Homo-oligomer: A and B are copies of this chain.
Amino acid sequence: MTGRPRTFDKDAVLRMAMRAFWERGYDGVSVAQVCAEAGIAAPSLYAAFGDKEALFEQACALYTEHLDEDLERDLSAPAARAAIERLLRSAAEHFTAPGQPPGCLVMGEPRLTERRDRTRDMIRARLRRAAAEGELASAAEADGVAAFVDTVLSGMAALARDGADRNRLLDAARFAIRAWPA
C-alpha cells in the first residue's frame, strides 16, 4: 500500500528550511514562511517532517552532517598547531561561503548550546592530546588554549553574520595562530 506519492522534493524543502533557520534563527522563521517558500501547504510539511521542532532538528542534522566531517578532518592533523590552523581557516571559509548565509547556524542559535559544547569538547580533547604528547606544556595550558580557540571560532561566526568578508576572518585566524605557545 503505497498511497498517493508526495508532490514535492522533501530534501529540497529541508534545504530551504535549513537555509531559513541559518539566516534568521529558530524564532525568526515561521512555519508559514517555509511553506510559502516551498510552495506547499502546512499539512504537507507537518506530514513530512513533524512539528516545527522536528523540522528544525532535521535541518540541523543536515547542516552539521558535512560540518562534523570537516571538523574531524582538520583536527586529525598530526601537529595540534596545524590542526587548529586548519580548523580556523576552514571556519573562515565556511562562514563566508558564497551562495550561503553568512555565519554559522549552530553558533548563532541560542538553543543549540549542547551542540556547541560537543564541538568544544572535541577541540579540548585534541589539545589535551597535544599536551600528553608534549606539544603543549600541560593539560591546564591545553584547556586555556581550547578556551581561546573556542572564543575565536565563535567570534568569527559573529563577525561573519555582521557582514565581515572572508579576508577579515582570515586575518583574525592568522593573528590567532600567533598566540600559539612557543
Contacts and interface: CB of A to CB of B under 8 A. Distances in A.
A144 interface: yes
- As for how many copies of this chain the complex holds, the number is 2
Q: At the interface, is chain A mostly helix, strand, loop or mixed?
A: helix
Nearest to A180: B178
A105 to B, nearest CB: 14
A176 interface: yes
A181 to B, nearest CB: 8
A174 interface: yes
Interface in A130-174: 143-145, 147-148, 150-159, 161-164, 168-169, 171-172, 174
Interface centre among A25, A154, A178 (most CB of B within 10 A): A154
Nearest to A162: B113
Contact of A158 (B28, B107, B176): B107
